[in-house]
Amino acid sequence: MRNTSVEFFSGKPVSEHEVEIVERKGVGHPDSICDAIMERVSIALSKEYLQRFGAILHHNIDKALLVAGAADVAFGGGRVTEPMRLIFGDRATAVVNGEHVPVGDIAVATARVWFRENLRFVDPEQDVIYDVQIKPGSPELVDIFKRDMPGANDTSAAVGYAPLTQTEEIVRRVEQLMNSRTFKEDFPEAGEDIKIMGFRHGQELNLTAAVAFVDRFLDGEAAYFRRKQEMHDAVHDFVLRHTTFDGVTLDINTLDQPGRGLGGVYLTVTGTSAESGDSGQIGRGNKVNGVISLNRPMGTEAAAGKNPVSHVGKIYTIMTHQVAARIYEEVPGVREVYVWMLSQIGAPIDRPKIAAAQIIPARGARKSVLRRRTLEILERELANINFLTRELAEGRYPVV
């Protein structure tokens, strides 16, 4: 039998806390860029290994740094004066029985495609320098991939939860709205580097948005502030229509100051602050459920770029959220649930050191029933863990 546990809490769900703080970083945020590209590289390598050798081989592309470049912004359109530098790090199998795998070429080609698909005004050939520092893996970790049930490649812990609160949901949805194709058609000056910070106090919600405006669409300061107000009104209306808070306030680019020209507005050439203002690093972006929720327990693993076969920092981080959601959806009487998993290096990934659920039950719920059904779900999901790893290798679950 697997080592599983269920305990019950008598506290309040996060949605009933007096104060809640939630953040989301958009697709063009420097941290999100690192996460998304390194995850895409892992998927591309997994596909290459499967096609050529019939199995996913050892790799972890979970170390990355995006070094900001330089740009001269100007109303009507500026220019990039120094490209960003994207550094790929960590380990990957590059030689199999004398056959070479072009890890570096795959990494760079994948990154270029990602930039082209996701950032409208970044030229992947001219605006980015690619620095590949991916080295071979250690023999002991490589051997993990040869075992019938892969062994965990690290001693690592993860936690997931369900359900999302209304604050978490709307913070995620607002960024997704502002980076949607429809929104860009209405507001082409809204760059992809968007960060939303949500603060709920009781039933009052305040959202602060940082939006990198694209300079080529604005002919002066007046146009900037006019479009910012129009953008504010559109987003504020969306939040009012999709939430039930007693009050909603929204602030956009609060560092702005009229009358200061270029020094008083948030302008970029490419729609991301990585062009000159802000570097990025893998693991500092959104958690795998799409938000950074300060009221919740969080693991320290960067899921993006880790291999989907044995790296529990990825597998368990995603799995705990999935299992928590299934417990909440399938077991009546669960108000809120947290799922924890701890691996031990070398142990089969389907047998964590502990898999534990912590439940806030509804009043009158029978704890014996909650416990039994929760344990059944933990056992079922762990027994089917190979289905999850295959889907992770195919990129079925976003990690940003």
Query: By residue range, what is the domain housing residue 56?
Result: 30-146
> Within a domain: residue 42?
yes
State the Cα–Cα distance between residues 189 and 319, nearest whole angstrom: 38
pLDDT of residue 317 exceeding 80: yes
Interval 166-199: pLDDT, tens: 999 999 999 999 999 999 999 999 999 999 999 9
Interval 351-361: pLDDT, tens: 999 999 999 99
Residue type, 347: A
State the Cα–Cα distance between residues 397 and 39, nearest whole angstrom: 10
Q: Hey, is 251 helix, strand or coil?
A: strand
Task: Give the position of tokens 């142990």.
Answer: 347
* pLDDT tier at 29, thresholds 50, 70, 90: very high
Interval 295-314: pLDDT, tens: 999 998 989 999 999 999 99
Residues whose CB falls within 8 Å of the CB of residue 87, separated by 6 or more in sequence, listed in order: 64, 65, 66, 67, 131, 133
**Cα separations in angstroms, 37 against 68, 94, 113, 117, 315:** 16, 19, 9, 11, 18
Name the domain boundary from 117, 146, 175. 146
* pLDDT tier at 146, thresholds 50, 70, 90: low
* Count of structural domains, the chain: 3
Which ranges of the chain does DSSP label H, i.e. alpha helix?
A: 30-53, 103-118, 139-143, 166-178, 181-186, 221-242, 312-330, 367-383, 385-393
> Within a domain: residue 398?
no
Tokens matching residue 141: 């970790």
Name the domain boundary from 89, 112, 146. 146
**CATH (domain of 57):** 3.30.300.10
> Closest by alpha carbon to 152, among 385, 351, 340?
351
Residues 44 and 131 in one domain: yes
Residues 132 and 50 in one domain: yes
> Within a domain: residue 400?
no
> Count of CB atoms within 10 A of residue 8's CB?
13
For the CA atoms of 126, 106, 138, 341, the dihedral, rounded to the nearest 10 degrees, stands at: 90
Residues 270 and 318 in one domain: no
- What confidence score (pLDDT) does residue 144 get? 56
> Count of CB atoms within 10 A of residue 197's CB?
17
Residues whose CB falls within 8 Å of the CB of residue 102, separated by 6 or more in sequence, listed in order: none
pLDDT of residue 125 exceeding 70: yes
> Closest by alpha carbon to 389, among 10, 29, 43?
43
> Within a domain: residue 289?
no
Residues 229 and 270 in one domain: yes
DSSP string, 337-367: EEEEEE--TTSBTTS-SEEEEEEEEPTT--H
User: Is the pTM value of this prediction over 0.75?
Assistant: yes
- What confidence score (pLDDT) does residue 148 get? 62
**CATH (domain of 379):** 3.30.300.280
Residues 141 and 52 in one domain: yes
Name the domain boundary from 248, 281, 314. 281
Average pLDDT (107-120) is 98
> Within a domain: residue 19?
no
Residues 38 and 138 in one domain: yes
> Within a domain: residue 23?
no
- What confidence score (pLDDT) does residue 142 get? 58
Residues 125 and 190 in one domain: no
Residues 40 and 110 in one domain: yes
> Within a domain: residue 268?
yes
**Cα separations in angstroms, 294 against 324, 353, 354:** 18, 26, 24
Residues 313 and 386 in one domain: yes
Residues 77 and 8 in one domain: no
Q: Hey, is 107 helix, strand or coil?
A: helix
Residues 191 and 241 in one domain: yes
Q: Is 368 exposed, middle or buried (0-12, 13-18, 19+ CB in 10 A)?
A: exposed
> Within a domain: residue 63?
yes
* Conformation bin of residue 106: beta by default, left when phi > 0, alpha when psi is -120 to 50: alpha
Average pLDDT (20-35) is 98
**Cα separations in angstroms, 395 against 39, 41, 301, 373:** 8, 10, 18, 30
Residues 192 and 268 in one domain: yes
